[in-house]
Amino acid sequence: MEEWILNRLKEIKNRFDEVELLMTKQEVVSNQNEMKKLSKEYKNLVKINQLWDAYNKTSTQIEETKDMIDSDDEEISELAQSENETLSENLENIFDELNKELIPKDATDEADAIVEIRAGTGGDEAAIFGNDLLRMYSRYSENNKWKVKILSSNYSEFGGIKEVVLEISGEGTFSKLKHESGVHRVQRVPKTESQGRIHTSTATVAVLPKSEEIDIEIKDDDIRTDVFHSGGAGGQNVNKVATAIRLTHNPSGIVVACQNERSQLQNKMQAMEILKSKLWDLELRKQQEEISKARKSQVGSGGRSEKVRTYNYPQSRITDHRINVTVHNLSEFMDGLIDELIGPLMKNEQAQKMLSQNPSK
């Protein structure tokens, strides 16, 4: 085991013991916020500590079997050799798990996700594709038992969406969905195409962490609030009462709107949640850019403007351009079975982080 890994594991062991002790102190137990913070840290450290104990125990067992391999008793020697091979394989698996757990975790990994889907180039077909992506993420959320709430939506008259904002909550939401950010391109024959020609359209996806327990100061003087009539299909009361809210954050220029609820207050509360997430994401990207410059390698989320994935319907093919991986199960993929690409993207992120934290690289 490399010395830098060994030193890191010793630091974690010391911190684990320290946190365990702190959680027994009365002043900490009586402080709900501090206890919650330490409990979260304890949960992150306990698995590494358990794996480290298992690694040391297995290493000791391997050394013991090595002595028995040299036994004059042939049967004992063979049994020891077989056990040694099994233990060595176990040790390798434990080491791999330790490496994964040692990867620095983003502050947002356990956050819920705010997902924005917008129609890009391609007119009505782009809006229809945006709706397909909405269904894909909704089905994926169902498969993971996540909750989906539509915060804002703007539908087109041809069954597509111009823009929709979702809040997806549940374990692992942002850590998985953050890899979906970027431009998604579709190649297919649109329903409105009479000549059977293949068109290329796009939709953009932005995945933001929902701000929780993060100190984001939003001054009232920095926000302009506009009230307007809700738009879209359905219902006699849609345009009669002005309940939709648009918030403009002057320092950053960020604009958010919410019109799905029946009251101004509910729409304003949801708009503030979206604004907080956008400001948190903006701050995180600034930090990541600084880290990237310092390490000369990018860590964390990538740019949102580049094409990340192509969906080719005639060939039932999906290609993720960031990791150069292609799968051929488009129908199942669009039905929410997207782990076939989510998994490799997460592994790629882990590999990049392992490289960035290894001082010898």
pLDDT of residue 278: 85
Task: Spell 262-286 as b/e; 16+ CB within 10 A means b.
Answer: eebeebbebbbbbbbbbbbbeebbe
User: Using CB atoms within 10 A of its CB, is residue 115 exposed (0-12), middle (13-18) or buried (19+)?
Assistant: buried
**How would residue 238 be classed by pLDDT, with cut points 50, 70 and 90?**
very low
- Helix, strand, coil shares, percent, the chain, to 5: 50, 20, 30
Q: Where are the domains positioned within the chain?
A: 3-102, 113-293+305-355
Cross-strand partners of 199: 188
Average pLDDT over residues 340-356: 80
pLDDT beyond 80 at 183 = yes
Whether the CB-CB separation of 113 and 208 falls below 8 Å is answered with: yes
pLDDT of residue 291: 41
pLDDT of residue 201: 92
pLDDT in tens, 282-322: 877 775 565 444 333 322 333 344 689 999 999 999 999 98
DSSP string covering 68-122 = HHT-S-HHHHHHHHHHHHHHHHHHHHHHHHHHHHHSPPPTTTTS-EEEEEEE-SS
Residue 352, Cα to own-chain centre: how many angstroms? 15
pLDDT of residue 289: 65
Alpha carbon distances (Å) from 337 to 140, 217, 234, 322, 334: 6, 39, 31, 19, 7
Whether the CB-CB separation of 260 and 151 falls below 8 Å is answered with: yes
pLDDT of residue 78: 87
Q: For the chain, give the percent of residues with pLDDT over 90.
A: 29
Distance between CA atoms of residues 207 and 281, nearest Å? 9
Average pLDDT over residues 190-199: 79
pLDDT of residue 357: 57
pLDDT in tens, 213-234: 555 677 888 899 988 876 654 4
Highest mean pLDDT among 76-90, 270-284, 302-316: 76-90
pLDDT beyond 50 at 268 = yes
pLDDT of residue 233: 47
DSSP-H helix ranges across 144-240: 173-177
3-state secondary structure of 336: coil
Q: What is the pTM of this model?
A: 0.62
* Encoded tokens for 137: 């993420």
3-state secondary structure of 193: coil
Whether the CB-CB separation of 104 and 357 falls below 8 Å is answered with: yes
pLDDT of residue 4: 65
Q: What is the mean pLDDT of the chain?
A: 82
What CATH number is given for 113-293+305-355 in this structure? 3.30.70.1660
